[in-house]
Amino acid sequence: MEVTLKGKVALVTGGTRGIGSAIVKQFAASGATVATNYRNQEQAEKFQAEMKKAGVDIHIYQADVSDFDACKQLIETVEKDLGPIDILVNNAGVTQDTTLRKMTKDQWDTVMRINLDSVYNMSRNVIEGMLERGSGRIINISSINGQKGQMGQSNYAASKAGMHGFTMALAQEVARKGITVNTVSPGYIGTDMVMAVPEETRNKIIAQIPVSRLGKPEEVADLVTFIASDKAGFITGADISANGGQHMM
């Protein structure tokens, strides 16, 4: 089954590394015009060089997704440069892990602002245009730990669980207008961040995964690309797991 995003404009937050980078590449390969944002200039330059070498044309903009006005400006700029946004992927996220008794207010606030407030900031600023056009896709990248919780991640787990509450509510608001809103919850994926974990620790994680391996960023990207396509018009309000069977709902 061929999945195409030809003629679509997509904006992926946090798309210069990890799962976000794989989504950006797959969207571009599927024919979409793709934009992403960055906060880290060095990471953005590295990503741009990689994309240029691979022959992939990506539009990159500086923006802090935890800032509502910055998100509004980002979306206005992207739409001015590339056209109306058909697909929004809320992928930006951070961790500030520690047990609750040691967690500072700043650690809580930072994770909630970037992981959850950003979903509101971005979605609020694209939804009017999608409603006017009668079509659109919003995809929120959550986590297995938003589904099952994880010790030392009360802030992260809360932010990722909150994403899906947002998904279900917004999906009901806009379904009749041709807009779908879904969550994708990856398990442990072989990104640079996970691969930097000591091998002994990685092996313990893999031992808990029924398929006996880490996921690939490209596997998540393929799933997200399908959900973003016209073929997925009957899927909305869903939380789709990609975790190798580690957590079954």
Q: Where are the domains of the chain?
A: 9-187+218-242
Tokens of 105: 């207010």
Q: In the annotation, is 156 catalytic?
A: yes
Q: Is the pLDDT of residue 110 over 80?
A: yes
Tell me the whole-structure pTM to 2 decimals.
Answer: 0.96
CB atoms within 10 A of CB 66: 20
CA distance 28 to 48: 14
CB atoms within 10 A of CB 174: 18
Q: Sort residue 178 into left (φ over 0), alpha (ψ -120 to 50) or beta.
A: left
Q: Is the pLDDT of residue 148 over 90?
A: yes
For all residues of the chain together, what is the average pLDDT?
A: 95
Portion of the chain with pLDDT greater than 70, in percent: 100
> Which among 61, 120, 156, 188 is annotated as catalytic?
156
The CATH number, out of the four listed (2.40.128.20, 2.40.50.140, 3.40.50.720, 3.30.559.10), of the domain defined by the range 9-187+218-242: 3.40.50.720
